[in-house]
A and B are shown apart, each in its own frame.
Chain A
Amino acid sequence: MRVMVCIKRVPLVGGKVVLSPDGKEVDTKFLGFGISPHEECAVEEAVRLVERNGGSSTVVTLGPQSAVEQLQFAMSLGIDEAILIDSGDEEWGPMSTAAALASAVSEKVAEGAAPDLLLLGNEAPDSGDYQVGIRVATALGWPCVTGVKELDVSDGTAVARREHGSEMEMFSVSLPAVVTVKEGLNLPRYPSLPGRLRAKGKKIDQMKAERMAEGLTTLQLRLPAEDGRETELLGTGVDAVPRLIEVLRETGVLAR
C-alpha cells in the first residue's frame, strides 16, 4: 500500500512565546523547528503501515525551503520519499494549503502511484485551523476521519476510532481516505543514526503551488493576560501534611 503523510514545519515553542516587534508573527530567534506531536504519530503510523503491509511512504509538506529539515526528519524515521511544495516565506492559509496538498496527491494519482491513505495531524499547533485534512479530502472526493487515536487498515478499509466524551467512537471508511490523527495513536520512534544518514542522502521532489486569498487577514498577534494565582507555601516536607489536609477540606476534596 502507498501511504502519504503531510507535515508542517513549526517553531517548537516550550517557554514563554515571544512576538516579533511588529506583532505579526512569533519571534523564532530562540526556537528550533520541528513537527507537532500529532504529526510525529502520523509519520510513525505511515512507517508502521508500510513495514506491516509493504508498499511505500511519502512525506509531503507545504513550506519554505528550510522545511527540508522536517522532511529529512520524517525520512530518518523510515519514510521513503519526500515532496516539498515551496510556499516561499509566506504563511499560507488552510484553503491554499489544502489545495496545494491535494494537487500533490493528484499528481501522484496521475503518475499511477495513487496513495491509499493520506495521514495528517489533527491540527497544526501554530495556526490551530482544524480543517486542512477535511479540505484536502473534500477536494479529492475521499472520505475523511479526524481526531483518530486508533487505526486499523486492511483490505481496502480503514477502521478508525476516536474519543468522544468518555467513549470511543468507531468509523470505517473505504480507501483511499484521509485520516487526521492525534498524539497517543502510537509511541513514535526516535531517529537512529543510520536512519538520519540515509535520509541525508535522499532526494526531495520540489513542487510549486498557487496561494489564494482566503478572506482572513491577521491584524496582530498578542499574548493573552496571565491568570495570576497567589501561591501559599504550605510548608516543607512532611511538616506540610497537617496544612495539606486542611487544604483538601477547604477545596471540598475531603469531607469536613
Chain B
Amino acid sequence: MILCIVEHDNGRLEDQSAEALTMARGMAGAAGVPLHAVIFGPGGDAVAAAIGEYGVSVLHLADSDALASYAPVAWARGVIAVVEAAPAEAVVASGTDRGNEVMATVGALAGLPMVANCIDVQPGDPYRLSRLRWAGSVVEDAELDSDGPRLFSVAPGSVVPAKADSAVTVETQPVPLSLSDADLAVRVLEHMVPEHDGASLVDSRVVVGGGRGVGSAEGFAVLDELAGLLGGAVGVSRAVTSLGWRPHRDQIGQTGVRIAPDLYIACGISGAIQHMVGCKSARRILAINSDADAPIMSKADYAVAGDLHVVLPALVDELRRITA
C-alpha cells in the first residue's frame, strides 16, 4: 500500500494534505496497490469521508489524548507503527512544516532516506521522482533505492488537488501505538495569536507589495492606505526588511511568506527570483514601477509605468471617491 500522512484542522482536511493525497493516489494507482492514510489527534475521524473522496480505502487513526497536541516524534512513531503493521511501499506527506518534520523524523528513526519537495513520483524499481531545489528554480530528476518504505514530501502547490473518480468507503483502523515520555518531549504546549494586527498576508485576496522603490519606512503609508481601502495586506521584498523598514513577517519570497492572492500589486519592486518565488501563485500580478523595463514589468499581468508615490495617491483618491 501507499500511506499518506493527512493533516487536519479540527476535522477539516488541510489544503496541502489534499495535494499529498492526490499524488499518493496516483502512485498507488501506478503501483497497483491500495491507498491508506494516517491521521493524528482527536477529531481525525471527521475527515474520513473527505479522504474517501480522494480514494483512501483505509484510515489509520491515532487519536489518543496523548496526541491532542502536535508532537513530531510521536507522529513519526505512529507512522512507523502503521507501516510495520501493514507494509507500505511508500509514505507521502504534504510539504508543510509538520509534514516535512514528521517525515524527516520517520527517516531518522528508521534509518531510511527521505525525499522532500517532490513534484512527481513514479513507483517502480527503483522509484523515479522529480523534486524542486533552489526554492523551485531547479528541478532534480532522481532515482530512489530504499530498503524500506520510500519517504516523500510533496512540494507545496506542485499538485492540483483532485478527487477520485468515485469515492471509496473508508475503513478506519486504530494505530497500535505506545508512546514514551521521550516521544512526547517535543510537543506543542501553547497556541498563540500573534500580537501584531493587520490582515494576514497568506490569506488576503489582495496584497499590496512594496520594494526598495518605496524609498523609506514612512513611504509605506500610502501602501497601507491602499491595502486598507481594498481590504488587503501589505507585503514587502527582502530589501525592505534588510533595510529595517518593515518586519520580516511582511516579507514575501523564498525565505519569507508565499502568497496566493487574487491580485498582487507590486510597487517599486524589481522582481528578483527570490521575490517572484513568493508571489508566483498570485492569480494576477500588477506592477507599478518608475522603471518601465524592470524585470517585474514583464513578469506581471498588468503594468503601470510611473512613480508609485504619484500613481498610488491618485488611485487612493479615486477609490475614496468611488466608495464614498
Contacts and interface: CB of A to CB of B under 8 A. Distances in A.
Chain A directly contacts chain B within the complex, with at least one CB pair under 8 Å = yes
Interface of A: 13-17, 19, 26, 36-38, 93-95, 98, 123, 125-131, 134-135, 137-139, 143-147, 161-174, 182-184, 187, 214-224, 227, 229-238, 240-242, 244-245, 247-248, 251-254
A217 B129 CA distance: 10
A130 B247 CA distance: 25
A230 B230 CA distance: 24
B135 A184 contact: no
Given A222-B138, A253-B263, A229 B301 contact: yes
Contact of A216 (B113, B185, B188, B232): B113
B186 to A, nearest CB: 5
Contacts of A162: 97
Interface of B: 9, 70, 72, 97-98, 100-101, 103-105, 107-109, 112-117, 126, 128, 131-146, 153, 185-194, 200, 202-203, 205-206, 230, 232, 238, 241, 244, 247-249, 251, 254-256, 262-263, 272-274, 280, 283-286, 292, 297-307, 310-311, 314-315, 318-319, 322
Chain B CB within 10 Å — which of A224, A230, A241 has the most? Answer: A241
- The 8 A-B residue pairs whose C-beta atoms are closest, nearest first, are A184-B248, A131-B104, A138-B108, A237-B306, A130-B100, A170-B190, A183-B255, A215-B113
Contacts of A135: 104, 107-108
Contact of B138 (A19, A215, A230): A19
Contacts of A161: 192
B255 A128 contact: no
Contacts of A170: 188-192
B133 A127 contact: yes
A14 B319 contact: no
14 contacts: A19-B138, A128-B133, A129-B114, A169-B191, A170-B190, A171-B186, A215-B144, A215-B146, A216-B143, A221-B133, A221-B141, A222-B139, A231-B301, A245-B315
A130 B104 contact: yes
B174 to A, nearest CB: 26
Contact of A234 (B241, B263, B304): B304
Contacts of B280: 227
A231 B302 contact: yes
Contact of A248 (B9, B72, B230, B310): B230
A17 B137 contact: yes
A16 to B, nearest CB: 7
Contacts of A26: 134, 138
B182 to A, nearest CB: 8
A221 B139 contact: yes
A136 to B, nearest CB: 9
B141 A131 contact: no
A245 B100 contact: no
A18 B238 CA distance: 23
Nearest to A36: B255
B194 A237 contact: no
Contact of B189 (A171, A238, A251): A171
Contacts of A16: 137, 273
Contacts of B306: 235-238, 240
Given A216-B115, A222-B139, A244-B304, A168 B191 contact: yes
B186 A244 contact: no
B310 A237 contact: yes
B193 to A, nearest CB: 6
A20 to B, nearest CB: 11
Given A95-B113, A138-B109, A169-B188, A126 B305 contact: no
B305 A237 contact: yes
A112 B318 CA distance: 69
A171 B232 CA distance: 31
Given A182-B255, A235-B304, A223 B116 contact: no
A127 B117 CA distance: 10
B100 A143 contact: no
Contacts of A215: 112-113, 144-146
A216 B144 contact: yes
Nearest to B249: A184
Contacts of B272: 14-15
Contacts of B285: 229
A234 B230 contact: no
Given A167-B194, A221-B140, A183 B256 contact: yes
A14 B274 contact: yes
Nearest to B313: A238
Nearest to B99: A130
A161 to B, nearest CB: 7
Contact of B230 (A98, A127, A138, A254): A254
Contacts of A125: 134-135, 254
A233 B302 CA distance: 6
A254 B323 CA distance: 10
